[in-house]
């Protein structure tokens, strides 16, 4: 009987153990090994994780060929990339002081794989030596940040703006925007400004201002507003709070930066011939190569050379007005008879070709077939906001006005 009880007890324990084994919820511990991977690093759109990066600058008198040859690129390959550069980049324009980057294999001789020339803060040229050599252009990303600045003028606009730690380009752009509205030689103490504009950065470094989006200029107690708006895909311009353009049909001058060296006159002693005769144009002195702009929309009627005019361009704007630009160092490529240009388009570059003593552009202005002094003409205004765009413009204007009226 005792043996029977022992067997029974063992069976009960055994059954209990089996029951426990098959009915218990087990937590299975899993160990996951997390391998942290660093983000791949790119420069100029090229993966550089396995490459050695060398930054340098072009030395005085150094050429592209010399740089490449000193980095184990043989002359036949150099000749090939020079050939492939045509139409992309003029290798003769590798200038001293400019930055460049070498991307090399991490081997004993640091075999060159890429040469990148930094043409500007934004634009660069890549010479790719992997397999078949290639040459192509690239652009760095520009990061734009918006800023609102204001000030009260005590002496000059440029001084007031620079005292605020703002780029002097802001004062230049404001003077261009309000060229037909405010005489900046007559601004006075107590005049004020607010300006909302773009600051541009590349790789975290400030590279300059972008576009002015809105401005308020108080002159002699009156507010003058300007708001940037783009009516079409080609270009935008500035309008006031009612949608009227701040631009006249003609620019005041065909150059951005200039001094008037000789005005329109019916009797002037010619600086070359010494003869007294009429000078039916306005001379704007500027360094050779300064871009010359068409002062209004129009069609090129002449782009040629004569002994007296040198290289010159004539533009017909409408049945009433035409303009002419003389003594260019060269006419811009593509500017020829029949080409339509817009106000501000570059048509050539300042020079001293023809009958001229120094670099300048002689600007001539025709009204109804007669040469006149543009500074004495009541010129037509530019076009206001179109009816179909007026609603959209007013929405943009109201938004920008709110920003201008906010506390800085």
Q: What is the tens place of the pLDDT at every residue in 346-362?
A: 999 999 999 888 899 99
Q: Which pLDDT score is estimated for 355?
A: 85
**Is the pLDDT reported for residue 78 higher than 80?**
yes
In the chain, the N- to C-terminal Cα span, in Å, equals 102
Q: Which pLDDT score is estimated for 31?
A: 47
Q: Alpha-carbon distance 389 to 229, whole Å?
A: 10
In tens, the pLDDT along 30-57 reads 445 555 667 889 999 999 999 999 999 9
Instruction: Return all residues near 172 (Cβ < 8 A) that are at least 6 apart.
Output: 158
Mean pLDDT of 74-96: 94
Place of tokens 């809105």: 214
> To 5 degrees, how large is the angle CA 69–CA 74–CA 80?
105
- Classified by CATH at the fold level, domain 42-139 comes out as Nuclear Transport Factor 2; Chain: A, (3.10.450)
Tokens for 321?
């007005």
Tokens for 405?
């009226």
Place of tokens 């000193």: 70
**Is the pLDDT reported for residue 364 higher than 80?**
yes
Distant-in-sequence contacts of 139-146, Cβ < 8 A, 24+ apart: 140/44, 140/202, 140/203, 141/202, 142/200, 142/201, 142/202, 142/207, 143/200, 143/201, 143/202, 144/198, 144/199, 144/200, 144/201, 144/210, 145/198, 145/199, 145/201, 146/196, 146/197, 146/198, 146/199, 146/213
Q: Alpha-carbon distance 194 to 161, whole Å?
A: 10
Determine if residue 389 is left, alpha or beta; phi over 0 gives left, psi from -120 to 50 gives alpha, anything else beta. Answer: alpha
- Residue 130 confidence class, pLDDT cut points 50, 70, 90: very high
Beta bridge partners of residue 57, listed in sequence order: 99
| Stronger pLDDT, 184 or 218, i.e. the higher one | 218
| Residues 280, 371 contacting (CB under 8 angstroms) | yes
Beta bridge partners of residue 326, listed in sequence order: 362
Was domain 143-239 assigned CATH 3.10.450.350? yes
Beta bridge partners of residue 367, listed in sequence order: 321, 370
Answer yes or no: same fold for 42-139 and 143-239. yes
DSSP assignment of 301-341: EEEEEETTTEEEEEEE-SSSEEEEEEEEEEEPTT--TT-EE
Among 2.60.40.1180, 1.10.260.40, 3.40.50.9100, 2.70.70.10, what is the CATH number of 259-376? Answer: 2.70.70.10
- Residue 82 confidence class, pLDDT cut points 50, 70, 90: very high
- Residue 28 confidence class, pLDDT cut points 50, 70, 90: very low
pTM value?
Answer: 0.66
Beta bridge partners of residue 263, listed in sequence order: none
Q: Which of 302, 298, 365 has the alpha carbon at shortest distance from 331?
A: 302
Q: Alpha-carbon distance 160 to 175, whole Å?
A: 14
Instruction: Return all residues near 195 (Cβ < 8 A) that are at least 6 apart.
Output: 148, 149, 150, 170, 174, 212, 214, 215, 216
Q: Which pLDDT score is estimated for 36?
A: 60
Burial of 201 per CB tally in 10 Å (0-12, 13-18, 19+): middle
- Residue 88 confidence class, pLDDT cut points 50, 70, 90: very high
In tens, the pLDDT along 145-196 reads 999 999 999 888 888 888 888 999 999 899 889 888 887 778 889 999 999 9
Q: Which pLDDT score is estimated for 26?
A: 41
- Residue 298 confidence class, pLDDT cut points 50, 70, 90: very high
**Is the pLDDT reported for residue 259 higher than 80?**
no
Determine if residue 175 is left, alpha or beta; phi over 0 gives left, psi from -120 to 50 gives alpha, anything else beta. Answer: alpha
Task: Provide the mean pLDDT of the chain.
Answer: 87
The 10 Å Cβ neighbour count of residue 166 is: 19
Domain boundaries defined on the chain: 42-139, 143-239, 259-376
DSSP assignment of 194-262: EEEEEEEEETTEEEEEEEEEEEEEEETTEEEEEEEE--SSS--EEE-TTS-BS-BSS-S-SSSS-EEEE
What is the percent of the chain where pLDDT is above 90?
63
Q: Alpha-carbon distance 152 to 356, whole Å?
A: 44
């Amino acid at each position: 009987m005792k043996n029977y009880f022992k067997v029974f007890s063992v069976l009960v324990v055994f059954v209990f153990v089996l029951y426990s084994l098959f009915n218990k919820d087990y937590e299975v511990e899993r160990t996951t090994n997390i391998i942290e991977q660093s983000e791949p690093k790119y420069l100029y759109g090229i993966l550089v994780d396995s490459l050695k990066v060398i930054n340098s600058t072009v030395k005085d008198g150094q050429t592209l060929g010399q740089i490449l040859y000193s980095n184990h690129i043989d002359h036949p390959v150099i000749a090939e990339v020079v050939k492939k550069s045509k139409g992309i980049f003029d290798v003769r324009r590798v200038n001293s002081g400019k930055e460049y980057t070498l991307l090399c294999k991490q081997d004993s001789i640091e075999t060159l794989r890429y040469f990148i020339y930094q043409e500007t803060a934004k634009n660069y040229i890549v010479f790719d030596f992997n397999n078949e050599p290639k040459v192509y252009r690239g652009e760095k990303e520009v990061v734009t940040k918006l800023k609102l600045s204001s000030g009260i003028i005590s002496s000059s606009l440029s001084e007031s703006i620079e005292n605020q730690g703002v780029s002097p380009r802001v004062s230049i752009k404001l003077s261009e925007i309000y060229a037909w509205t405010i005489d900046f030689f007559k601004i006075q103490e107590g005049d004020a400004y607010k300006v909302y504009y773009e600051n541009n950065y590349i790789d975290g470094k400030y590279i300059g201002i972008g576009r002015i989006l809105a401005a308020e200029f108080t002159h002699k107690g009156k507010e003058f507003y300007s708001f940037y708006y783009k009516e079409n895909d080609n270009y935008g311009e500035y309008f006031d709070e009612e949608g009227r353009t701040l631009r006249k049909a003609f620019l005041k001058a065909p150059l951005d930066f200039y001094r008037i060296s000789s005005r329109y006159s019916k009797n002037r002693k010619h600086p070359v011939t010494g003869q007294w005769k009429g000078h039916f144009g306005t001379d704007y002195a500027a360094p050779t190569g300064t871009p010359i702009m068409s002062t209004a929309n129009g069609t090129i009627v002449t782009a040629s050379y004569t002994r007296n005019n040198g290289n010159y361009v004539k533009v017909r704007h409408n049945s009433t007005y035409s303009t002419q630009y003389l003594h260019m160092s060269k006419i811009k490529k593509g500017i020829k008879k029949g080409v339509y240009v817009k106000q501000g388009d570059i048509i050539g570059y300042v020079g001293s070709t023809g009958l001229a003593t120094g670099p300048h552009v002689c600007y001539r202005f025709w009204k109804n077939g007669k040469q006149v002094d543009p500074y004495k003409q009541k010129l037509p205004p530019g076009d206001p906001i179109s009816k179909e765009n007026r609603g959209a413009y007013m929405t943009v204007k109201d938004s920008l006005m709110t920003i201008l009226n906010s506390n800085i």
